[in-house]
Chains A and B, each alone.
Chain A
Amino acid sequence: MAEIKSHRTVFERIEGLPVLLALMLIIGIFMITAPRSFLGVRVYMSFFATVPPPLIIGLGLTLVIAAGEIDLSFPSVVKMSGIVFAMTNKFIAFPLDTDADGFVGSEGVTNLLPWLFLVLAVGVGMAIGFLNGLLVTMVGIPSIIATLATLFVFEGLSIIIGGGQQYSLRGIDEYTVHAALTGRIGIVPVQVIWALLAAVAIWFLLNRHKFGEHLMFIGDNENVARVVGVNVKREKIKMFVLMGALGAVAGVMVTLENKNFYTTQGTAFLLIVMAAVFIGGTAITGGKGNIPGTFFGSFMVGCIEAGIISSGLGGFWTRLVVGLVFLAAVIFHLSIEDPTRMKRLVGIRPSSDGLLARRATSPPG
């Protein structure tokens, strides 16, 4: 068989490679500007603890954006799942286990209770996702509007449920659920392993499963997807439910890692998760999603936030730098997608000269 020349570059063929290289570059820079933290191991262990929750949400958001939709409600899913998990444990599991010398979890039936509450919290996230899905597909509200509304509604509800208070879960580390989701293997936080497993699973879901293929076709052209037999509404609802589930898992992880439910948990995720997905190379236009890109993009955002501060620049610089990296990444991805567009951009001056020249020589009339 004849070899067919491929126009696609190595950057395109190995998904996420440019983002990985950029991540390594950024780490390299911080090793110079902030050697005390970036040449040690601790800072990386701290990334492995804090990046996984927004990363796991980013994986879900990559699917949503591939399908041409958006979900803005995940910060409130993080709050709702957190408050449900925190209050159920605090008011049901802990009292059963309290004796004179504090908590004795890790034994018997009560050790299973936090697992049950984890399932409950994930169920709450899925219910919010289901509601988002219904609003988008059945009521016909554009997803950006529908999920903005549910972002408000469920942030409000989480405050009402929790009375606007934070809930300390001191003692939760006595239970297996803590060890399983946010424990340490040696010094390595286990949540990074969950994040890696989730990324692999969702890569297969998007690129090898018919559900993922349906999402890409929906994002590419919804009418065509319908005509070729994709049940567009059902697939979108499933997608929002999955997104809700991932948001809820992230929410429980945050609560477990902090051993505390803070009323603001997840608020900061809104911007960093979206930045990570777009830095990763998933385009807002839909039709495809870059899972490795989201994976490395999430670490990049986390890295920049920590690196700026360790370099002594002050916290207010983080936003600015993330924004600039974000812009640079999007322009880079565009140029890979459509090389001619970049040539046009770079060649603005000569081409306008050309236009003038053509005008000068073209016949009148």
Chain B
Amino acid sequence: MSEVQLRGGAVADRTYEHVVRMADVSMHYGAVRALSEINFAVGRNEIVGLLGDNGAGKSTLIKILTGVQKPTAGDMYVRDEKIDWSGYSVRRAHELRFETVYQESSLCEMQPLWRNFFVGRQITNRFGFIDVKKQKEIAQDILLNAIGFRGAGITVDSRVSDLSGGERQGISIGRAMYFDADLIVLDEPTVALAVKEVRKVLDFVRSIKESGRACIYIEHNLAHVYEVADRLVILDRGRVVAEIARGELSLAELTQYLIDLHDKRDQHADG
């Protein structure tokens, strides 16, 4: 059994309190208010579980955080320093050592795995030509240790379209594990995985904690989040409605709390 391992350790060159902090961030899609004045922070060695109903705004929040989208209002601080939105992008987020496994596939179907691992940050020479050999070697390593693989005929030259859903997810997670980051964002990483593979993802989250890094973990399975998170943040209709520290509630109480929240919302909608 290969163990889930992280490369290297967290950047310790500068001390900071929060690896990321959002202040009054709002996001509208036309008339849809996906996020309203969100205040959200992640400590430098903290695992934050992000919970909420479908459409609560979880994915939107992390897309803003990782530079995929720009918010309509609000500020963000990375390692306690304010971010200039105009210069913020996925590339910048990579440079800031943020790594993300998105809910939707972030792999391109027709392209081979070795390209999918490195696209956006290829190993190149001075003129931008890709070092194919080196990329394939590293991709091979990632593949050997990747979650969800039984080594069944898949090589670095395989196209993503030849992979099962779980294998694809394993590739995305493997990519996030390789690009050693200070903040790893996992948006429902376990949905397509078998039970045993889910354990490996949870082990991975624990190893993030142990190596002194931070993680935002989005997951609908409460037991899983409960198991690994230091703190839970609950989103409801684009607002932070609760923050629960580890041990504050039992799993049963947490479940009841979320059900109540849901019911209240339904009553609100009916009334």
Contacts and interface: CB of A to CB of B under 8 A. Distances in A.
Interface stretch (B46-54, B88-96, B189-197, B251-259): B88-96
B128 interface: yes
Nearest to A287: B110
Contacts of B107: 224
A42 interface: no
Contacts, number: 70
Contacts of B119: 213-214, 217, 225, 228-230
A224 B106 contact: yes
Interface string A187-210: 000000000000000001000111
Interface in B74-118: 89-91, 94, 102, 104-111, 115
Interface in A65-110: none
B155 interface: yes
Interface string A209-239: 1110110110011011111111100000000
A4 interface: yes
A208 B129 CA distance: 6
Contacts of A287: 108-111
B105 A224 contact: yes
Interface of A is mostly: helix
Contacts of B129: 204, 208-210
Interface string A250-290: 00000000000000000000000000000000000001100
B111 A4 contact: no
B111 A209 contact: no
The residue among B108, B124, B130 with the most chain A CB atoms within 10 A of its own CB is B108
A288 B111 CA distance: 8
A364 B67 CA distance: 55
Nearest to A221: B108
A220 B128 contact: no
Given A4-B153, A210-B124, A229-B89, A216 B111 contact: yes
Given A208-B132, A210-B128, A214-B119, A220 B109 contact: yes
A349 interface: no
B111 A220 contact: yes
A5 interface: yes
B109 A221 contact: yes
B11 interface: no
A4 B155 contact: yes
Contacts of A221: 108-109
The residue among B115, B122, B124, B128 with the most chain A CB atoms within 10 A of its own CB is B128
Contacts of B130: 208-210, 213
Interface size class of A (residues with CB under 8 A): 20 to 34
Nearest to B152: A4
A213 B122 contact: yes
B271 interface: no
Given A210-B128, A228-B119, A220 B108 contact: yes
A130 B102 CA distance: 33
Contacts of B108: 216-217, 220-221, 224-225, 287
A287 B129 CA distance: 19
Interface string B120-139: 11101001111010000000
A213 B117 CA distance: 12
B177 to A, nearest CB: 16
B134 to A, nearest CB: 13
B146 to A, nearest CB: 16
B91 A229 contact: yes
Contacts of A5: 153
Interface of A: 4-5, 204, 208-211, 213-214, 216-217, 220-221, 223-231, 287-288
Given A220-B109, A220-B110, 18 more contacts: A208-B132, A209-B124, A210-B128, A210-B130, A213-B115, A213-B122, A214-B119, A216-B115, A217-B111, A220-B108, A223-B104, A224-B105, A226-B68, A226-B90, A228-B90, A228-B119, A230-B120, A287-B110
Interface of B: 68, 89-91, 94, 102, 104-111, 115, 119-122, 124, 127-130, 132, 153, 155
24 contacts: A4-B153, A208-B130, A209-B127, A209-B128, A210-B130, A213-B119, A213-B122, A213-B130, A216-B108, A220-B109, A220-B110, A220-B111, A221-B109, A223-B104, A224-B105, A225-B119, A227-B102, A227-B106, A229-B89, A229-B119, A231-B91, A287-B108, A287-B111, A288-B110
